[in-house]
């Protein structure tokens, strides 16, 4: 069944966007820390924050670019010390994901943000992984972890992080690359990604968020990533667009993030429709939902309202999210069946 078989009235589109099953492929679990939880954990752990109140902290969420956000994001993560803290953070996100009909999520985590404060990587991974296991059993959400290297640090430090995490290899499915993009091109991490590839880990990297198309090319050709996180700057390079379409490389696009970090002046100017109409495997994701004004469904609702995307695009985005996920083909087919059932219900 294809979406062309469905006639869905535009008035029902928002309801459909919320109801359809979807996968989230780009979210940083530390970016799901709501101000209320930051303050609760600060109190629990005796950590002093440079903000007087929840309102004071929220006031600081006026970003001008990626770096202005990262400075606050790393400060927020400083309250995470114990295994239970990591569990509580992940559980709060997973409950919200379930409410948005996210049936599969592949969550990034930044171990170096925590090991730099003396937290053992085992504490980080155990807490997050326990929440993933509970999500499957209690929420029906399939959840997995992707370890990200911080690109503003050295490749040597990335290797050290990999070594520290390898005893827990069974608790994460892949590696990614995040943090400050411009000035830290993918090729800086060529050797550590080659090693991760040998280890059979899935490979992704942030590229083309603020950085140039050249960074997307090197994420593909040097790091050999299977997905590109963001990648919206690819639209500036027709040859790159053709390559991404031909090789069906998913782009994990984050519209509200792009809006809040001033990658586009407003959502109307976002290029998601251009990417989809060029045949790219683009997906919608929340990135750092506690900081950017919304979780998955809010990203879908606001982007569709601003750009005039249709039910056909909604189906494509959900289908792309399953195609781009690191689940097996049988699971993909099951989720596609659920997606088509939802569309059939709305067309009736
Ligand atoms: N870390 C958390 N969110 C990020 C983003 N949008 N880009 C790069 N690094 C990040
Ligand atoms: Zn991101």
The 10s digit of each residue's pLDDT in 166-221 is: 999 999 999 999 999 999 999 999 999 999 999 999 999 999 999 999 999 999 99
What pLDDT shows up at residue 3? 58
What are φ and ψ of residue 345, in 5° steps? -65, -40
Q: Residue 288: CB within 6 Å of ligand 1? A: yes
| CATH 3.40.50.11260 corresponds to the domain 6-347 | no
Residue nearest to atom 6 of ligand 1 (CA): 287
Q: What are the sequence ranges of the domains in the chain?
A: 6-347
> What's the number of CA atoms in the CB half-sphere (13 Å) around residue 111?
28
Verify whether ligand 1 is closer than 6 Å to residue 175 (CB atom): no
Q: Is the dihedral of CA 35, 284, 100, 174 positive or negative?
A: negative
**Dihedral angle computed from the Cα positions of residues 167, 169, 175 and 179, in that order, rounded to the nearest 10 degrees:** -40
CB 260 near ligand 1, within 6 Å: no
Q: Among 61, 67, 66, which Cα is nearest to 38's?
A: 61
Determine the pLDDT at residue 232: 98
For the chain, 348 residues long, give each residue's pLDDT as a single digit of tens.
Answer: 455 557 889 999 999 999 999 999 999 999 999 999 999 999 999 999 999 999 999 999 999 999 999 999 999 999 999 999 999 999 999 999 999 999 999 999 999 999 999 999 999 999 999 999 999 999 999 999 999 999 999 999 999 999 999 999 999 999 999 999 999 999 999 999 999 999 999 999 999 999 999 999 999 999 999 999 999 999 999 999 999 999 999 999 999 999 999 999 999 999 999 999 999 999 999 999 999 999 999 999 999 999 999 999 999 999 999 999 999 999 999 999 999 999 999 997
* Whether 210 is catalytic: no
Which element (helix H / strand E) includes 26? strand 22-28
CA distance 324 to 226: 9
pLDDT of residue 348: 73
Q: Output the CA angle 141-260-222, nearest 5 degrees.
A: 70
Distance CA 285, CA 30 (A): 15
Mark out the alpha helices in 11-81 (DSSP H runs): 13-19, 35-45, 54-59, 66-76
pLDDT at residue 7, rounded to an integer: 85
Give the Å distance between the CA of 26 and the centre of ligand 2. Answer: 6
- Strand, coil or helix: 29: helix
The alpha carbon of 178 and the centre of ligand 1 are apart by a number of angstroms equal to: 5
DSSP readout, 84-104? Answer: HHHHHHHHHHHHHHHHTTEEE
At 1 the three-state DSSP class reads coil
Element (H, E) at 262: none
Q: Which pTM does this prediction carry? A: 0.97
| Catalytic residue (one of 30, 34, 209, 210) | 209
CA distance 304 to 245: 22
CB 72 within 8 A of CB 38: no
Structure tokens at 332: 């993909």
Q: Which ligand is nearest to the CA of 211?
A: 1
Residues 93 and 32 sit within 8 Å (Cβ to Cβ): yes
pLDDT at position 306, please? 98
DSSP symbol at 287: B
- In this prediction, residue 4 carries a pLDDT of 57
Q: Answer yes or no: is the C-beta of 30 below 6 A from any ligand 1 atom.
A: no
For a pocket test of ligand 1, which of 69, 93, 215, 292 has the largest count of ligand atoms closer than 8 A to its C-beta? 69
C-alpha span between 290 and 60 (Å, rounded): 13
Distance 145 CA to ligand 1 centre (A): 16
């Amino acid at each position: 069944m294809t979406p062309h078989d469905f006639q869905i009235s535009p008035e029902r589109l928002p309801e459909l966007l919320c109801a359809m099953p979807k996968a989230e492929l780009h979210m940083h679990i530390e970016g799901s820390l709501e101000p209320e939880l930051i303050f609760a954990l600060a109190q629990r752990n005796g950590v002093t924050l440079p903000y007087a109140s929840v309102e004071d902290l929220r006031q600081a969420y006026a970003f001008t670019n990626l770096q202005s956000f990262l400075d606050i994001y790393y400060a927020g993560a400083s309250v995470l010390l114990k295994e239970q803290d990591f569990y509580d953070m992940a559980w709060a996100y997973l409950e919200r994901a379930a409410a948005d009909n996210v049936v599969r999520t592949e969550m990034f985590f930044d171990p170096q943000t925590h090991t730099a404060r003396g937290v053992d990587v085992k504490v980080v991974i155990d807490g997050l992984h326990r929440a993933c296991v509970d999500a499957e059993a209690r929420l029906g959400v399939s959840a997995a972890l992707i370890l990200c290297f911080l690109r503003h640090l050295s490749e040597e430090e990335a290797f050290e992080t990999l070594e520290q995490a390898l005893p827990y290899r069974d608790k994460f499915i892949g590696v990614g690359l995040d943090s400050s993009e411009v000035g830290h091109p993918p090729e800086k991490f060529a050797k550590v990604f080659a090693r991760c590839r040998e280890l059979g880990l899935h490979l992704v990297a942030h590229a083309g968020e603020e950085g140039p198309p050249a960074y997307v090319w090197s994420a593909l050709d040097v790091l050999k990533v299977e997905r590109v996180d963001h990648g919206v700057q690819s639209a500036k390079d027709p040859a790159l667009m053709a390559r991404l379409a031909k090789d069906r490389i998913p782009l994990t696009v984050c519209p509200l993030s792009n809006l809040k970090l001033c990658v586009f002046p407003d959502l109307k100017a976002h290029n998601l429709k251009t990417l989809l109409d060029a045949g790219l495997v683009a997906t919608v994701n929340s990135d750092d939902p506690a900081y950017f004004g919304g979780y998955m469904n809010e990203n879908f609702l606001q982007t569709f309202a601003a750009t005039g995307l249709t039910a056909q695009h909604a189906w494509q985005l959900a289908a792309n999210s399953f195609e781009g996920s690191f689940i097996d083909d049988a699971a993909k087919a099951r989720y596609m069946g659920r997606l088509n059932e939802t569309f059939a219900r709305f067309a009736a």
